[in-house]
Amino acid sequence: MNLSYRWVIVAAGALMSCVAIGTMFSLAIFLEPMALDTGWSRAGISSAMTLNFLVMGLGGFAWGALSDRFGARIVVMIGAVLLGLALVLASRTSSLLTFQITYGVLVGLAASAFFAPMIALTTAWFTTNRGLAVSLVSAGMGVAPMTISPFARWLISAYEWRAAMFDIGILAWVLLLPAVLLVRQPPKPVSSNTGIAEPTAGGAGMNVGQALRSPQFIVLGLTFFACCAAHSGPIFHMVSYAMLCGVAPMAAVSIYSVEGLAGLGGRLLYGMLADRLGVKPVLVAGLAIQAIVIAAYLSISKLEQFYMLAVIFGATYGGVMPLYAVLAREYFGQRILGTVFGAATMLSSLGMALGPLAGGMVFDAYANYHWLFIGSALIGLGAAGIAIAFPPLPQRELQAA
């Protein structure tokens, strides 16, 4: 198989991450109309997102291990079928508890089937430009707010939230099931076809238990957790916060879209910088910028100010996210990457689970989001501090020109 096919893998992975994360995060767009229509509390609806991330954590670890054993295609096939089914069922629920279980558990389990397996598969296809390739796969997450979110808002305006969620479930099947057929394992060995020596990871000889107890994984997992705990609340509640500041609903959604566009650019920028300058310094700088920008949201209220911060915020949180996979590959090698990165993703999902629920509780208690942004900024500074403790990356073999 021609190694140019690796870019097809990147494209398929980007599409999957766009649809999976886009449909899940579209709950932020549904939050207000659902609350008005059903009388359910924002905290109650937001808790479905918290369940998403909790289930994603466990699911990411399990799906990553299964992809190491059976390959990525079967895993993403199951995820594609389950994601559409979960959204269709959630659109028909009649009680908050049923919605929380259906949307929170099933959507989270389905969405977690794509990220770790496709990231691990992509790193197996690439020996050079790995940071850029992983960033492009995760760029689908940045495209999601520019596509799924406005589409969801349009559907809600044209029909109502139940019809909109049902239609998005059908769309997930239409887009994902054909993309699954493009997923293939790389030729073995990749290095024999490229003439480039595969980099040697210092932890390549570890088993899973040793890897998960290693200092490298502990720092990786804690940083990933704190990073996601910092930005999850501001991301999820940004549309509601903008509307609370007097921004019109469709304009508020456009802020979400600007963040997504900036995240796409940030993934490309940070991926190229990591390939050139090293992953650790780029990650630490990005985490520090993220914390500062979160705090800056406390002092704005106008649409143009939201746009300005959305560009910086989206670029930073979008840019740093793919770097954890590159670090995991460098530390632990390809053989157990799906399992190890799945475990790291589990910790990040626990961090992501905090923000939506915390934001909903803060709003229900104080009728504003100020304490959400203060707490998120402090956690973000903590993430940057933890990242400084990353052990040195293992030495690589020299690569042929």
The answer as to whether 139 is a domain residue is yes
Predicted local distance difference test score (pLDDT) of residue 145: 66
Give the pLDDT confidence of 221-249 residue by residue, as tens digits. 899 999 999 998 888 888 888 888 888 87
For every residue of 143-181, DSSP letters joined together read HHHHHHHHHHHHHHHHS-HHHHHHHHHHHHHHHHHHHHT
Predicted local distance difference test score (pLDDT) of residue 286: 93
Give 42's contacts (C-beta < 8 A, 6+ positions apart): 31, 35, 240, 360, 363, 364
Domain carrying residue 345: 3-179+205-387
Rounded CA gap, 39 and 37, in Å?
A: 6
Rounded CA gap, 400 and 381, in Å?
A: 39
Report if pTM > 0.95: no
Predicted local distance difference test score (pLDDT) of residue 99: 92
Task: Identify the CA nearest to 219 among candidates 344, 369, 42, 368.
Answer: 344
Distance from chain centroid for Cα 349 = 9
Q: Residue 272 sits in a domain of what CATH number?
A: 1.20.1250.20
The answer as to whether 396 is a domain residue is no
Rounded CA gap, 320 and 183, in Å?
A: 25
Predicted local distance difference test score (pLDDT) of residue 335: 74
For every residue of 1-16, DSSP letters joined together read --GGGHHHHHHHHHHH
Task: With a cut of 50, list the residues of the chain below it in pLDDT.
Answer: 1, 190-201, 396-401
Rounded CA gap, 35 and 45, in Å?
A: 8
Cα–Cα–Cα angle for 317, 87, 175, nearest 5°? 70
Domains in the chain, number? 1
The answer as to whether 193 is a domain residue is no
The answer as to whether 187 is a domain residue is no
Give the pLDDT confidence of 377-395 residue by residue, as tens digits. 999 999 999 999 887 766 5
Give the pLDDT confidence of 10-30 residue by residue, as tens digits. 889 989 988 988 888 788 788
- Residue recorded with tokens 């238990």: 209
The answer as to whether 103 is a domain residue is yes
The answer as to whether 238 is a domain residue is yes
Give 347's contacts (C-beta < 8 A, 6+ positions apart): 57, 221, 222, 224, 225
| HEC readout, 41-67 | CHHHHHHHHHHHHHHHHHHHHHHHHHH
Rounded CA gap, 169 and 82, in Å?
A: 10
The answer as to whether 191 is a domain residue is no
The answer as to whether 197 is a domain residue is no
Per-residue tokens: 28: 């932020």
Rounded CA gap, 37 and 387, in Å?
A: 43
